[in-house]
Structure 1
Amino acid sequence: PLQAAYCAAKHAIQGFCDSLRCELIHDNSAVRVTMLQMPALNTPQFGWVKSRLRRRAQPVPPIFQPEVAAEAIYFAAHNPKREFYVGLPSLEAIVANKIAPGFLDQYLARTGYDSQQHDGPEDPNRPNNLCQPVPGDHGAHGAFDALARNWSPQLWTSKHRTVLALGFLAFAISGLIALFKNKHL
């Protein structure tokens, strides 16, 4: 399987967070649980993951730098909410799965394999972390710096939700006032 184990783990984490949150609320705990829905990140895992793909593995584009994830984690720790969408692709996939799951299945069946492979053949004998860690310090960045984004509009929107809502409200009220004035002239 290409994504089956990953998707199963994501669902397990979602279920764990939801049930843990309920238990903490029941116990009147001050601990807050936030689920961060991360986009594809440029981490070194794609350089050592065990892969049976014909070409080298890569994160599904668009790819974001690990600093985007770090910024989101820091923000969520200081501004706990139930859930944060860090990249627009994460939100798009979740919404598409709710609205048109069959369409998303077909789309991913057509595009999923190619989008997770990069140029060049995979070396089946390269070290991997399936049975043991790959030795060495691999840093935080993977091999996709040239493709990775340093900024997420979705994260910015999540961080500035109140200001955006107030701006939208002011715009809507201004529009209603202008409409009301024009009707009474």
Structure 2
Amino acid sequence: MGVEALTVPVDVADPEGVRAAVDRVEAELGPIDVWVNVAFSSVFARFDDITPREYRRATEVSYLGYVWSTMAVLPRMKQRGRGVIVHVGSALAYRGIPLQTAYCGAKHALQGFHESLRCELLHERSPVRVTMVQMPAVNTPQFSWVLNRLPKQPQPVPPIYQPEVAARAVVYAAAHPRRREYWEGASTAATLAANALVPGLLDWYLARTGFSSQQTGQDASAGPVNLWDPADGRSGRDFGAQAHERSAQQWVSHHYAPLGTALLGAVMSLFALRRRTAGRPNVRGQ
């Protein structure tokens, strides 16, 4: 596409490594205008089956990796008086589910970090923006790459969306960062709404369905694990046959302002029409 690209492999759990990567990016490509935090790793297992070392590593990558990256890039953005940071979150930043305690814990921590940082930037009246995108289940190789201790192969909980849906969400959030967060996919919106209204009922529902819905009928098999080292470039399961390429909820979410204005205009027009109709005299033939 005629755009220069630069790949800098780095372990986001290493704060000095992240800082060096930012130095190199700005030295070779120029000032960073948009920074997207998205790296993660995790363990599919019951809490009892995860070791302290594994839990620490998942947290260092999936939560502290966001913190270290933001710590490396934010001062530069503040100094220049511009910039956008997008945190890629999940519906699981609000709603914990079984078999993913490490991942859910990291995403909940990220949600708190995001809100606190946003409040500080608002207090400072900083022109730097930070926003968060809460994702649904996405068809990526993660379900083959995470460390798995389940009896069956892990899978995303339907409905599943193609990566392009997630990509559009991030691009839109980067271009419209004033909103504090975006909910992407009908499943995300429904889950977060239900969790706000009836969290206890959701606990019972997930206790009954959360184990089976996250596993395929295939026995678990050994494969690449990205908890300690990258698994990029290696094959993973493809759920494309079940995945949606578009999200109607996403379209509505990204156009809620004009849609709201149009709806308000329609309601006001209807109200005005009814008033005019009510004001007409009722003339009957004699």
Normalised by the size of structure 2, how large is the TM-score? 0.60
1:61 lines up with 2:165 in the alignment: no
**Alpha-carbon distance in 2 for matches of 1:120, 1:142:** 12
Runs of 4+ more than 3 Å apart: none
Partner of 1:137: 233
Map 1:15-34 to 2 at 5 A: 15-34=112-131
16-25 or 166-175, which deviates more: 166-175
88-97 or 74-83, which deviates more: 88-97
Partner of 1:147: 242
Determine if contact 1:47/1:143 at 8 Å carries over to the other structure: no
1:39 lines up with 2:145 in the alignment: no
Partner of 2:208: 110
Partner of 1:93: 191
What is the root-mean-square deviation in Å for CA atoms of aligned residues? Answer: 1.8
- What amino acid sits opposite 2:240 in the alignment? D
**Greater Cα radius of gyration, structure 1 or 2:** 2
**Alpha-carbon distance in 1 for matches of 2:277, 2:258:** 28
**Alpha-carbon distance in 1 for matches of 2:265, 2:234:** 49
Determine if contact 1:64/1:150 at 8 Å carries over to the other structure: yes
Structure 1, unmatched stretches of 5+, are none
Q: Across the two proteins, how many residue pairs are aligned to each other? A: 182
User: How far is 1:32 from its partner?
Assistant: 0.7
**Alpha-carbon distance in 2 for matches of 1:167, 1:142:** 43
**Alpha-carbon distance in 1 for matches of 2:146, 2:126:** 38
User: How far is 1:176 from its partner?
Assistant: 1.2
Normalised by the size of structure 1, how large is the TM-score? 0.90
Determine if contact 2:135/2:185 at 8 Å carries over to the other structure: yes
Partner of 1:79: 176
Determine if contact 2:224/2:234 at 8 Å carries over to the other structure: no
Partner of 2:259: 164
